[in-house]
Amino acid sequence: PSTSFFPSPSCSRSKSHFYFIALPALFKQELQDTEAEEGGTVTLRCELTKPKAPVEWKKGDVTLYPGLKYELRQQGCAAELVIHDLEVEDS
């Protein structure tokens, strides 16, 4: 269902060629603004159109990686970023 098949212009009766074009993952539900208190924890969530699509979380140009500060979760089409020990700089 998530792959489209288009015959190649070079198809013939004796041999068939197919291009496999994977459709991109799009946002089904985008991130929403969330308020939280300094020192607390916040969860940012989005939903994609494809399950298990690769997700990269960024703050500006900086890629976020899992650790004590950030927790990255993904199940099916849902992706979550949990930010612990919030600081003003996390805005």
Each residue's pLDDT tens digit, 9-57 = 544 455 666 676 777 888 888 888 888 999 999 999 999 999 988 899 9
Q: Is residue 50 a contact partner of residue 25, using CB atoms and an 8 Å limit?
A: yes
Give every CB contact of residue 65 below 8 A, 6+ residues apart in sequence: 72
1: confidence class by pLDDT, cuts 50, 70, 90: very low
The CATH fold assigned to 27-90 is: Immunoglobulin-like (2.60.40)
| pLDDT above 80 for 59 | yes
